[in-house]
């Protein structure tokens, strides 16, 4: 486990003592240094003695009420009685006490106190007052967990963490607040929480302990750690955090890269809010690529031509520089392929000006690919499901368009590029082209990268076409971003291997998830 094992408090939350025992033992075996035991999850009469034989590290006892996002099933007097029993039981080194009850429960022996405030629906306007009042209470650590609903809430959470003079963990819940769980460590939080078992639905946005091994393998987060983020909506299934974080580790860069889900229309406010950290650079994805280009003070020529950016670099003067790395990644993927193919065939590599390209789709990816190919001199025809979108893009970029229904009848085609999501997980049995269109010698480039071997790519291979996969383009655009972020040129082959390794277990897990289709866990039915 990384993010410094000492910086993670694993959360064990099961409804049965037996399953709690299994997870406590397993967490200790995996090297957990500190665990929160969520007593409120236990549905039967709580018996601390049954858990004690499985103790392998210090424990924090928590009895969270439903109003604070917990599952305590009993009355408040019962809860406080059990809290007191936990304190004197000798089983726990730490106890979590909500701010409204903390003054009524006295410090006992060596048991340390987390005084906490939770708000699962909002980030209250008087959060600073709430925190200042908490600071007068007897605590070893203060915890603030709130739900941010707008970008400025994130700024207030980060600023609160930054001004803390006593040990404090302040973070936002949910996907929107996710980044602040990590930034809290930069500004002195003693630990962040992570679910031992990510399927338990313990708290919105809570990472799992395993995520620190697979997705965030950074050694530790401290005051000098730089932050990078993937800004988009959705961001949940992106491979970019895995790629960038593993590369940071391999290249010994003190940095972490986290997903940051920002709803459409909120990019400027989100960028302003996160200046409180600040975030050193962003990968930008749907639906913010155009807004990112507009927001930047300066852009590279590719972002200017395409009118969209997939990268934002934060400069020392606080302004942003926008880049489009999809554009060069697409051309390089094709150029490298054409050169290797020509070399293998013992012929001169063709110039783009000799080639006719059919591009399927008229969205953001198509825009970057077409602009790049046109500039390289290729003869491009766009075909897209919505004819008006294809016609407009063709007019804007100066190429031809054809009806979606007529895409199989273009008179000349050397290269076909799929820029639609057709064939992407989970609809892996779909292809944007009839297999009969795929003739030997044709170059088939599918920008879809999950899975790498889409039906279109498989059809193309079996019909004697040569192929370029979306993985190639994805790796190249990520490598260019990494270079902009760090000044280091990462090895493409290492990144390719990282992505393939990352994709195989995830693809498997996704397939299993689909198969289960909402199946319940062993002991969590109805939870």
Q: Which residues are catalytic?
A: 118, 143, 289, 326
Cα separation of 249 and 190, whole Å? 22
Q: Which is nearer to ligand NAP, 140 or 494 (CB)?
A: 494
- The distance of closest approach from Cβ of residue 408 to ligand NAP in the complex, given in angstroms and rounded to an integer, is 14
Cα separation of 139 and 97, whole Å? 9
- The distance of closest approach from Cβ of residue 257 to ligand NAP in the complex, given in angstroms and rounded to an integer, is 16
β-partners of residue 400 are 381
φ, ψ of residue 393 in degrees (nearest 5): -65, -40
φ, ψ of residue 128 in degrees (nearest 5): -65, -40
Q: Which is nearer to ligand NAP, 14 or 288 (CB)?
A: 288
- The distance of closest approach from Cβ of residue 378 to ligand NAP in the complex, given in angstroms and rounded to an integer, is 18
Nearest to 36 by CA among 12, 52, 16, 14: 12
Q: Which is nearer to ligand NAP, 65 or 375 (CB)?
A: 375
The token duo for 337 is 């392929």
- The distance of closest approach from Cβ of residue 251 to ligand NAP in the complex, given in angstroms and rounded to an integer, is 21
DSSP-assigned states of every residue in 460-477: HHHTT-EEE-HHHHHHHH
- The distance of closest approach from Cβ of residue 470 to ligand NAP in the complex, given in angstroms and rounded to an integer, is 4
CB 32 within 8 Å of CB 196:
yes
- The distance of closest approach from Cβ of residue 391 to ligand NAP in the complex, given in angstroms and rounded to an integer, is 12
CA distances from 352 to 53, 91, 338, 386, 464 (A): 70, 71, 10, 27, 21
Cα separation of 439 and 38, whole Å? 61
- The distance of closest approach from Cβ of residue 387 to ligand NAP in the complex, given in angstroms and rounded to an integer, is 9
Q: In what side-by-side order are the strands of the sheet with 192-195?
A: 168-172, 141-146, 112-119, 94-98, 59-62, 35-38, 8-12, 192-195
CA distances from 379 to 358, 382, 389, 467, 501 (A): 9, 10, 19, 19, 36
- 8-state DSSP, 90: S
Cα separation of 246 and 256, whole Å? 9
Nearest to 450 by CA among 489, 422, 413: 422
Report the Cα 24 to chain-centroid distance in Å: 27
- The distance of closest approach from Cβ of residue 486 to ligand NAP in the complex, given in angstroms and rounded to an integer, is 19
The token duo for 418 is 């799929």
Q: Which is nearer to ligand NAP, 48 or 449 (CB)?
A: 449
Task: Map residue 135 onto helix, strand or coil.
Answer: coil
The residue at minimum Cβ distance from ligand NAP is 363
- 8-state DSSP, 33: S
> Under the rule (CB under 6 A), what is the footprint of ligand NAP?
286, 326, 361-366, 384-386, 389, 419-422, 424, 432, 447-449, 470, 473-474, 477
Cα separation of 292 and 311, whole Å? 8
DSSP-assigned states of every residue in 331-361: HHHHHHHHHHHHHHHTSPPPPGGG-EEEEE-
Cβ count near 82 (within 10 Å): 20
β-partners of residue 13 are none
Distance separating the N- and C-terminal Cα atoms of the chain: 28
Q: Which is nearer to ligand NAP, 279 or 479 (CB)?
A: 479
The token duo for 434 is 């009839």
CA distances from 333 to 1, 286, 328, 330 (A): 35, 22, 8, 5
- The distance of closest approach from Cβ of residue 467 to ligand NAP in the complex, given in angstroms and rounded to an integer, is 13
- The distance of closest approach from Cβ of residue 72 to ligand NAP in the complex, given in angstroms and rounded to an integer, is 43
């Amino acid at each position: 486990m990384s993010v410094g094992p000492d910086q993670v408090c694993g959360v064990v939350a099961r409804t049965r003592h037996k399953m709690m025992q299994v997870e406590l033992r397993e967490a200790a075996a995996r090297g957990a240094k500190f665990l929160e035991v969520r007593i409120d999850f236990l549905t039967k009469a709580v018996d601390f003695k049954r858990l004690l034989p499985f103790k392998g590290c210090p424990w924090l006892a928590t009895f969270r009420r439903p109003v604070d996002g917990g599952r305590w099933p009993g009355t408040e007097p019962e809860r406080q009685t059990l809290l007191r029993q936990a304190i004197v039981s000798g089983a726990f080194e730490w106890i979590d006490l909500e701010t409204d009850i903390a003054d009524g429960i006295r410090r006992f022996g060596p048991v340390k106190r987390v005084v906490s405030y939770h708000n699962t629906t909002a980030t209250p306007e008087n959060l600073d007052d709430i925190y200042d009042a908490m600071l007068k209470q007897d605590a070893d650590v203060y915890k603030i967990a709130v739900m941010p609903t707008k970008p400025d809430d994130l700024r207030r959470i980060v600023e609160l963490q930054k001004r803390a003079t006593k040990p404090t963990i302040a973070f936002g819940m949910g996907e929107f607040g996710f980044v602040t769980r990590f930034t809290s460590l930069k500004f002195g939080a003693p630990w962040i929480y992570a679910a031992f078992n990510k399927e338990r639905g313990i708290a919105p946005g809570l990472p799992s302990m395993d995520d620190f091994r697979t997705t965030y393998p950074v050694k530790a987060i401290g005051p000098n750690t730089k932050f990078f983020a993937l800004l988009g909506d959705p961001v949940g299934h992106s491979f970019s955090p895995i790629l960038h974080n593993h590369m940071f580790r391999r290249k010994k860069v003190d940095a972490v890269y986290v997903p940051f889900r920002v709803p459409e229309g909120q990019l400027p406010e989100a960028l302003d809010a996160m200046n409180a950290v600040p975030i050193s650079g962003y990968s930008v994805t749907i639906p913010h690529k155009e807004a990112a280009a507009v927001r930047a003070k300066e852009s590279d020529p590719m972002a200017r031509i395409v009118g969209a950016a997939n990268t934002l670099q934060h400069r020392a003067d606080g302004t942003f520089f926008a880049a489009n790395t999809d554009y060069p990644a697409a051309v390089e993927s094709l150029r490298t392929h054409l050169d290797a193919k020509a070399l293998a065939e013992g012929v001169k590599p063709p110039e783009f000006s000799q080639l006719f390209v059919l591009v399927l789709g008229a969205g953001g990816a198509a825009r970057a690919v077409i602009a790049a190919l046109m500039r390289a001199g290729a003869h491009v025809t766009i075909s897209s499901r919505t004819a008006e979108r294809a016609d407009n893009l063709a007019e804007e970029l100066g190429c031809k368009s054809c009806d979606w229904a007529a895409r199989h009848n273009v008179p000349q085609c050397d290269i076909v590029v799929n820029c639609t999501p057709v064939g992407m997980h989970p609809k892996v049995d779909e292809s944007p082209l009839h297999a009969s269109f795929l003739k030997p010698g044709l170059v088939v480039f599918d920008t879809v990268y999950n899975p790498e071997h889409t039906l279109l790519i498989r059809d193309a291979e079996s019909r004697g076409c040569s192929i370029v996969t979306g993985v190639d383009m994805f790796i190249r655009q990520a490598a260019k971003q990494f270079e902009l972020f760090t000044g280091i040129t990462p090895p493409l082959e290492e990144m390719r291997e990282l992505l393939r390794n990352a994709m195989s277990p995830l693809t498997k897990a996704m397939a299993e998830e689909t198969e289960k289709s909402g199946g319940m866990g062993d002991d969590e039915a109805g939870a």
